[in-house]
């Protein structure tokens, strides 16, 4: 990447007006639509705990997905540059949000659980170490004001062949 600055644009529209706008707290929908040029439209809502539609993604879900996917993409790039051949990657990420008495809230922590399979058992140590570097490089993690940790598990596809 040669440009030092990247710009992003998203068009968000509230679609939850059920005829009376926000005249009553209980009567309006929390649904929204996001359009980003050249990409599929995303339909979202509030978390069900905030009167949202449980079948739609909510901002909290999307923040956790952004953290997890950014870590993965940073990690895979590092592995490719360090010649660590990753064959599979999955993550069961979790996050915690705390509400304040004034109605505000904030994420207090996120925990990633990457599960990685590499091609060669000799690459496992390096593959584990690259998670720290990926965290340091992740654009999204660098933008968050709460702790993000990871508990990575790396195994090798050829581990059964290497065992005595």
Span 7-65, pLDDT tens digits = 999 999 999 999 988 998 888 999 999 999 999 999 999 999 999 999 999 999 999 99
Radius of gyration of the chain (CA): 20
Candidate from 23-27, 70-74, 132-136 with smallest mean pLDDT: 23-27
Band of residue 160 on the pLDDT scale cut at 50, 70, 90: very low
pLDDT at 162 over 50: no
- Cα-flanking dihedrals φ and ψ of residue 56, to 5°? -110, 155
Average pLDDT of every residue of the chain: 92
Non-local CB neighbours of 21 within 8 Å, separated by 6+ positions: 28
CB contact at 8 A, 32 and 12: yes
Q: Give the C-alpha separation, 130 to 79, whole Å.
A: 7
**Total-model pTM:** 0.88
The pLDDT of residue 159? 62
Computed from CA positions of residues 60, 66, 68, 71, in that sequence, does the dihedral angle turn out positive or negative?
negative
Sign of CA dihedral 49, 52, 53, 57: negative
Q: Among candidates 149, 63, 136, which has minimal Cα distance to 106?
A: 63
């Amino acid at each position: 990447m040669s440009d030092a600055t990247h710009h992003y644009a998203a068009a968000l529209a509230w679609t939850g007006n059920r005829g009376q706008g926000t005249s009553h707290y209980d009567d309006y929908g929390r649904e929204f639509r996001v359009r980003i040029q050249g990409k599929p439209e995303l339909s979202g809502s509030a978390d069900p705990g905030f009167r949202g539609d449980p079948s739609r993604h909510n901002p909290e879900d999307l923040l956790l997905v952004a953290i997890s996917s950014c870590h993965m993409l940073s990690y895979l790039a590092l592995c490719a540059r360090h010649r660590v051949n990753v064959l599979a990657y999955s993550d069961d990420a979790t996050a915690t949000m705390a509400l304040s008495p004034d109605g505000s809230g904030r994420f207090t922590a996120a925990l990633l659980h990457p599960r990685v399979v590499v091609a060669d058992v000799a690459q496992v140590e390096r593959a584990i170490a690259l998670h720290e570097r990926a965290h340091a490089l992740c654009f999204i993690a660098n933008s968050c004001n709460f702790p993000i940790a990871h508990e990575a598990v790396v195994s090798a596809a050829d581990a059964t062949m290497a065992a005595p």
